[in-house]
Structure 1
Amino acid sequence: MAGILVWFWNERFWLPHNVTWADLKNTDELTFPQAEDLYLACPLAFCIFMIRLVFERFIARPCALGMKIQANGPQRAQPNAILEKVFTAITKHPDEKRLEGLSKQLDWNVRTIQRWFRQRRNQEKPSTLARFCESMWRFTFYLYIFTYGVRFLKKTPWLWNTRECWYNYPYQALTVDLHYYYILQLSFYLSLLFSQFTDIRRKDFLLMFMHHLATIALITFSYVNNMVRVGTLVMCLHDAADVLLEAAKMTNYAKCQRLCNLLFVMFALVFMSSRLGVFPVWVLNTTLFESWEIVGPFPSWWVFHLLLLLLQALHTFWSYLIVRIACRAISRGKAGKWNPLHVSKDDRSDIESSSDEDEAPPPSHKHHSSSSNGTNGAHGTNGYLTGTSCHDDH
């Protein structure tokens, strides 16, 4: 174990040439980032998760109920022992052959059976109230941490001159505000990483999981080798769009559609301008070129940039989704089908929309008696704006 630790903390990997860990030990005059500081993030992540539970129960939920957001989930499927057994023991998405067999066995229309399986899948989805509470928690945290980051950074020289991120590197002192900002961000993303398995499951689950891992790795890497100055720029830049995204979700759940549309447009503009414009031009420029000129590359420098480029790839993908949502909304608006800014059914809607099936003809008279047993009047649940989460969205 000792040999593994020595190999992992190899100074030739983590630090620039001719710099050792002993050079970065804390003194009475100066404090530097220490790897053991990061252990504090684990219990703090648990505390954040517990604070979230309390917030959602005693603050977000009363707010949602005050806005007339219902706690009811999607319409429940009619109880049926045969279909329930297939759903729980065999498949949640039966193929055409199995549907035909079930149709003959139950004397039900195939469309009715498809609708039953859709309702049964949606039955496990969270209610609008749960979605609102989750978004309100994230909105509150992002607003707080973004406000804190802006107030902190406007007093720093590296916000106005990014070359200050590398002057005298790595012998740059760690301030109390900077340490708090880093540990709180790391703790939040650790809590997101684990709560992702209990939160509302979305279609881009794996992408978000990879995003959280990359974010945690970036925060850890930049803290250990004292790239914290440029790290603060990355974190604050990413928080700007996330506040608007969660606000758009909340207004959509509250059915304030015009405000939702406005917030979504603002989110899209801020997201693409910050992630595809400011991030590569401002942040990647200083990490790739200014640091190369002032400090020079070293092994962990390459890993740091690999993670930054991974984030940029995710930014590009999510920007594509946003543009796709906007183009679809505009095209439908021109056709007179809906408001061109209406975004309540985006590509990441985590409740299956069934509008196509609900427009189908009613079941044939052959199976009328069976299909009228509560399933004939089923309606699909509209998807809600889940947006393109961005941290988390870093």
Structure 2
Amino acid sequence: MLETVKEWLFWDRLWLPRDLSWSDLEDSEGRVYAKASHLYAALPCALCMLLVRYLFERYVATPLADVWGIKDKGRVTAEPNPVLENYFCSKARVPSQADVRALCKKANWPERRVQVWFRRRRNQDRPGLRRRFCEASWRCAFYLLAFVYGVLVLYDKPWFYNLKEVWAGFPKQSMLPSQYWYYILEMGFYVSLVLRLTFDVKRKDFKEQVIHHTATLILLSFSWISNFIRIGTIVMALHDSSDIVLEAGKLFNYAGWEKTTNGMFVVFTAVFMMTRLVIFPFWVIHCTWVYPLEYYDAFFGYYFFNAMLAVLQMLHLYWAVLILRMVYKFIFSKLEGDDRSDEEEDDSDSSKERNHKLSHTNGSGTRGWASGH
């Protein structure tokens, strides 16, 4: 059964142009081709990434947080109450007004005390500022190194300047060692993110992040197996460029450097819009949708690859809407928070104040913007 599944999964007609087979991509004449078995290296790489991340956060990010004076806010622990705890864990973190009244009767507490208990209990599950700083530091460091390495991999390649060269001689294009390591490191990083999803800071677009990481891994895997490596490296470098600015903006935001954060917000908006909404759809997707048909007829792998790029583009549009909302606040009012953030609540918050606070807490200016992908 497994052999049958494997035969269907790797059927030549699915992933390669007509009149080509996997046998045509066997190493020969000094050419070395990408193979599916190479991708197994991504898992041990991901485990190494998790170890490196732990060491980085402990011995680099934490001391840096100390230098910048980043401290967690003092929190008041919610007092033990089995009735409220059971409701919190099994039903809802934010009870309705009717449920609050019912809980008041069960717990024999006044309404005000129940509301304060839920605010304190929600705060207990929220990550501290130092933890968010360490996480952003790790991502910023990786994206910076990955982008620099990607530029070194691409700068002397003809397809970096002329996208038609991406398909010259496809699929008989020899894999370069620099491309191999670029792919394995990127895949290892995204696998490590998936492994850490339930432990890292959760935001309101958690589901979109899961879709993004999954689509990215599928794209990387497919582009590797089908030898779409040249365009794959361009896509990775393009995405890393804006992620650097995003994570750096988070760091300055957590450090309370308001003017620097404002500047990073402007730079990030410009880089994101240019790379994700202009270059990616009008250069990269155009390259994968139009140019290949000049060399061979469309096949399933062609449609599959472009469909996954379209999924990424839809996510870009989703995040672009969030960014533009922040730009609007930045220009016409005050941008004092991130629509995706889950900020701590004060005991004095009323229901209306709390709803306002979830969208507008983090200081002044653009502090708090930097929480997107």
The two structures share one fold, judged by TM-score above 0.5: yes
Which residue of the partner structure matches residue 129 of structure 1?
130
- Does residue 346 of structure 1 match 2:329? no
What per-residue deviation string (whole Å, max 9, x for no partner) do you get for residues 80-130 of structure 1? 454334334554222222211233455655344223212211211111000
Which residue of the partner structure matches residue 257 of structure 1?
258
Q: Equivalent residues in 2 for 1:1-394 (5 A)?
A: 1-27=2-28, 29-72=30-73, 74-104=75-105, 108-333=109-334, 342-343=335-336, 345-351=337-343, 357-358=349-350, 382=361, 385=368, 387=370, 389-390=372-373
CA distance in 2: counterparts of 1:360 and 1:90, whole angstroms: 22
**Aligned amino acid, residue 262 of structure 2:** N
Could you tell me how far 1:76 is from its partner in structure 2?
A: 2.9
**Aligned amino acid, residue 348 of structure 1:** R
Kindly tell me: are residues 356 and 257 of structure 1, through their superposed partners in 2, closer, same or farther at Cα, counting changes over 3 Å?
Answer: farther
What per-residue deviation string (whole Å, max 9, x for no partner) do you get for residues 311-337 of structure 1? 11110110000001121233324xxxx
CA distance in 2: counterparts of 1:141 and 1:267, whole angstroms: 17
**Aligned amino acid, residue 229 of structure 2:** V
What per-residue deviation string (whole Å, max 9, x for no partner) do you get for residues 253-307 of structure 1? 1111110111011111100111111111110111111112223311111000000
Q: Is the 8 A contact 2:166 2:231 kept in 1?
A: yes
SS in 1 for 2:349: helix
**Aligned amino acid, residue 307 of structure 1:** M
CA distance in 1: counterparts of 2:270 and 2:348, whole angstroms: 31
Q: Is the 8 A contact 2:194 2:213 kept in 1?
A: yes
Structure number with greater Rg is: 1
Aligned residues: 364
**Aligned amino acid, residue 286 of structure 1:** C
SS in 2 for 1:357: coil
Q: Is the 8 A contact 1:322 1:388 kept in 2?
A: no
**Aligned-CA RMSD value:** 2.3
The unaligned stretches of length 5 or more in structure 1 are 334-341, 362-378
Kindly tell me: are residues 74 and 300 of structure 1, through their superposed partners in 2, closer, same or farther at Cα, counting changes over 3 Å?
Answer: farther
The unaligned stretches of length 5 or more in structure 2 are none
Could you tell me how far 1:354 is from its partner in structure 2?
A: 6.0
CA distance in 1: counterparts of 2:167 and 2:311, whole angstroms: 22
Kindly tell me: are residues 122 and 282 of structure 1, through their superposed partners in 2, closer, same or farther at Cα, counting changes over 3 Å?
Answer: same
SS in 1 for 2:279: helix
CA distance in 2: counterparts of 1:53 and 1:283, whole angstroms: 35
Could you tell me how far 1:385 is from its partner in structure 2?
A: 2.7
**Aligned amino acid, residue 385 of structure 1:** G
Give the TM-score normalised by the residue count of structure 2.
Answer: 0.91
SS in 2 for 1:29: coil
CA distance in 2: counterparts of 1:109 and 1:262, whole angstroms: 47
Q: Is the 8 A contact 1:321 1:388 kept in 2?
A: no
Identity of aligned residues (%): 37
